[in-house]
Structure 1
Amino acid sequence: MSKPTTAADMPDELRRRLGVPDAVVIGLGSMIGAGIFAALAPAAHAAGSGLLIALALAAVVAYCNATSSARLAARYPASGGTYVYGRERLGDFWGYLAGWGFVVGKTASCAAMALTVGSYVWPGQAHAVAVAAVVALTAVNYAGVKKSAILTRVIVAVVLAVLAAVAVAALTASASDAARLDVGGDAGFGGVLQAAGLLFFAFAGYARIATLGEEVRDPARTIPRAIPIALGITLVVYAVIAVAVLTVLGPRGLAGATAPLSDAVRAAGVDWLVPVVRVGAAVAALGSLLALILGVSRTTLAMARDRHLPHALAAVHPRFKVPHRAELVVGVIVATVAATSDVRAAIGFSSFGVLAYYAVANASAWTLTPEEGRPARVVPVLGLAGCLALAFALPVSSVISGAAVLAAGAAWYGVRRLAAARS
């Protein structure tokens, strides 16, 4: 009788350690992060008093994406997320393009989150602090995914406590000090659509659950449960915060705010809470950065296994059972970008790449059969149309740079295929 195969016998396989609570927490750590501290002001600038409509629109697209991703993740419980789904359902090119968009776009997200940490912790040395944060969290991820989940749980608890304090302070402000809440739209449909694209940046973290498909227990059950739970909690939190901030600042005040949540508690007359909000923003950005590095390294692992990226990055550490080379390379690249880039440009560029990634996910979900757990047909159709609409409603500079990078990735794929055909 042959000896049963164990994890130690499969050095290239990751270890399944995460249950539903851990997966939900990782998703929350990715979504309830710096986005809610930073995205409200530019979204209000685009949508005016239509901010809540934009939030609802972004949530609908996110729900469709989450549903499609959950069904696909249950069918293909391997690291890589939509890179794997696109490859299996649509063909090698579409999987590659999704993976390329995710890795490049989320690398920019990592840099944006790191710079957010720096701007809150030490504004005068934001780039240096950003690099230090990347190095520290890369080391945490290197030590194992379970340790990352534990740290993320602590971060999520801190951020939720800070956001609760902001909501209570704003919503209990006296009527004489609070601005009138106005939820009507006065910026036109284009402005609302652009705001939804910007707010989508704050919802996009649920992909991190799917990219960890090879490290969760019973993925066919865990992933479809964890993704909607994480998204639902995030939507409720965002809606409460948006209403609270609009209540005290009003649409115009929010649009002009440099630190919306800090300005909101100050306008509510709770100045002592401002430093707490600043700390909460920094912690939130650290949580997002931790989960982002985790997800990008796993997609890098999957692409390296298929040799779309250098195969050396497919190595899994024999002790920690993590893709250690991929994590180190991602950490070095993110640290370099964080040391040299601008946070606003990074966010816009990232949003385009992420929306392209989810467009492929929805197209892949459309091809599932009922026996494979296909969602209702309207879900991937609405998700695909929503992703494309939000992507091309982003600022022109973001659309041009994002499309150029996707085109460069496609060209590289074509060159590799041509070279392989000739050899």
Structure 2
Amino acid sequence: MDQGNTAFILIAAAFVLLMTPGLAFFYGGLVKAKSVISMMMLSFGALGLIGVLWVVFGYAIAFPGAEGTLAPWAIDWSAIGLNSLLETPEDAAYPPMAFVCFQATFAILTVALVSGAIADRAKFGAWMLFAGVWATIVYFPVASWVFNFGLADDGSFAYGGWITHGLQETFGVGAIDFAGGTAVHINAGAAALALALVLGKRVGFQKGVHVPHNPPFVLLGAGLLWFGWFGFNAGSELAADGTAALAFINTIAAPAAALLAWLVVEKIKDGKPTSVGAASGAVAGLVAITPACASVQPIWAILLGIIAGAVCALAIELKFKLGFDDSLDVVGIHLVGGLIGTLYLGFFANGTGLFLGGDATQLLVQAIAAIAVLVYSFVLAYVIGFAIEKTIGFRVKNEDEIAGIDTVVHGEAGYTLADAKV
């Protein structure tokens, strides 16, 4: 067993776990002051629930083993409860449980990302029900499409589910998604769009009405997300090597460029670059580089960041033009950014991209992967959300939304003035 790589994977897992509290700060700062507790609790609720489900059966669905490598929905019954993974094979590079830990943090974060679309108006219990069902029938299977590592004859991990290995058998090249552009960001963004449509618009929804109550929270959250993203991207190599180093530098370059691009668009469009824009631009770049971080040269990572930052800065306006209330721009940043990063590989992936030695085949398989995940996630998220809304109710009453749902749902306030009495 390689103790260095084992330590690398476990540290990367800790980095990624920190992203969920970071997301809570990022989202919490974007809502109104009377909804900050509710918003942050959607992330922490996902952390608790998905952490438990992952151990009980989530890993068994997401990683059904070699026999389930190309199956769209499979389960490894021996991995229920993880007892079969406690022992480390003599020739293993790292303990299987280290990989279990790393992938658990991906599942938690992906579910938490969806919550940004329903800010200010969702019941906590309904959200928890949605999170559990969606993770079970959407995230866990989609993770197996992309990340399922089947064992090769030599005992090494053979990469990929049907989106990677399966498409490679059909087209000669598989879809590239190193760290989750499809499984995480397109997946979460499509589900967020579905929930935004199910719950409808916030009271008084229009441009300029709902403004972030705490930009410092947003910047803190973005900083924690960026820090954790090094584990997300570089950690996906599962080894401290040159590929991890490439993913690391690209995780600096792309979001840095996206941050600048977003600010330029803001300055041109609105006259002022904002702190929230800087944070959002960085996240857009991080989203876009996620699938591509190990497959593009740093100079092309910068170009990807510029494209993602500029396009996502414009894409967040779509909700006003099309009339859906994606409260915290999960669609405009994660769905659009994930699509940009996934399709960009069709042009600039090392060796197989259209402009770098390949042909249009890489672009074709990237598009197939993106569309498959988008449609699957959107349809099932809409069905789950609609069923919850029509049974127990997903949305709070309008009067509770106007008053602020922190005290109604959780009996707490994000900001309480000190009692003047001594």
Do they fold alike, i.e. is TM over 0.5?
Answer: no
Of structures 1 and 2, the one scoring higher in RCO (CA 8 A, sep 6+) is 1
Task: Give TM-score scaled by structure 1 length.
Answer: 0.28
With structure 2 as the length reference, what TM-score do the two structures score? 0.28
